Amino acid sequence: MPSLPSLSSAPPTSAFAELPVIAPVATPPVQFLDRDHSILAFNERVLDWAKRADVPLLERLRFLCIVSSNLDEFFEVRAAPHLTAEQGNEQKGLYTKASFKALSAVAHDMVARQYALYNDELLPEFARRGIRIISHGERDADQRRWVKSYFEREVRPLLIPVGLDPSHPFPQVANKSLNFIVRLSGLDAFGRENEIAIVKVPRVLPRFIAMPAQGSGKGMLFLSLSSVIRAHLAELFPGRVVEQFSQFRVTRHSDLAVDEDDVQNLRTALRQGLEQRHYGQAVRLEVSSSCSEYLSGFLLQQFNLPALSLYRVHGPVNLVRLTQLVDLVDDPKLFFPVYSACYPTQLLHGQSFFERLKQGDVSIHQPFESFDGVLAFLREAVHDPQVLAIKQTIYRTGSDSELMVLLREAVRQGKEVTVVVELKARFDEEANINWAEMLESIGAQVVYGVVGLKTHAKMLLVTRREGRNLVRYAHVSTGNYNPRTARLYTDVSYLTASAPLTADIHNVFVHLASQSRLPKLNQLLLAPFQLQRKLIEKIDALGEAAQQGKDSRLVAKMNALTDEGLMLALVRAGQRGVKIDLIVRGACMLPAQVPGVTDNIRVRSVIGRFLEHSRVFYFRCGAEEELYLSSADWMNRNMLRRIELAWPVTDPVIRQRIIDECLVAYLHDGLDAWDLQPDGTYKRVSSDLNARKGDLRHGAQAALMARYSDPQRREK
Q: List, in sequence order, every beta strand (DSSP E) within 101-228.
A: 131-133, 162-163, 179-185, 196-200, 208-210, 220-224
Report the alpha-carbon distance of residue 79 to residue 305 in Å, rounded. 12
Q: Give the residue from 285, 341, 282, 283 showing the smallest Cα distance to 317.
A: 285
456 is catalytic: yes
Report the alpha-carbon distance of residue 571 to residue 553 in Å, rounded. 13
Pairing of strands 624-630, 362-366: unpaired
Are the C-beta atoms of 326 and 310 separated by less than 8 Å? no
Buried-state track 141-178, b at ≥16 Cβ within 10 A, e below 16: eebeebbeebbeeebeeebeeebbeeeeeeeebbbbbb
Asked whether the bond before 367 is cis by omega within 30 degrees of 0, the reply is yes
Are the C-beta atoms of 306 and 87 separated by less than 8 Å? yes
Give the SS3 label for residue 500. Answer: helix
Report the alpha-carbon distance of residue 398 to residue 428 in Å, rounded. 7
β partners of residue 43: none
Q: Pick the catalytic residue from 456, 475, 613, 668.
A: 456
Q: Left (φ > 0), alpha (ψ -120 to 50) or beta: where does 577 sit? A: left
Q: List, in sequence order, every beta strand (DSSP E) within 206-339.
A: 208-210, 220-224, 241-252, 282-288, 310-313
Are the C-beta atoms of 497 and 472 separated by less than 8 Å? yes
Q: Give the residue from 211, 203, 233 showing the smallest Cα distance to 147.
A: 211
Report the alpha-carbon distance of residue 673 to residue 96 in Å, rounded. 33
Report the alpha-carbon distance of residue 529 to residue 170 in Å, rounded. 50
Report the alpha-carbon distance of residue 569 to residue 320 in Å, rounded. 40
Element housing 583 (H / E): strand 579-584
What is the four-CA torsion angle of 293, 299, 301, 304, rounded to 10 degrees? -130
Residues in the chain: 716
Active centre residues (catalytic): 456
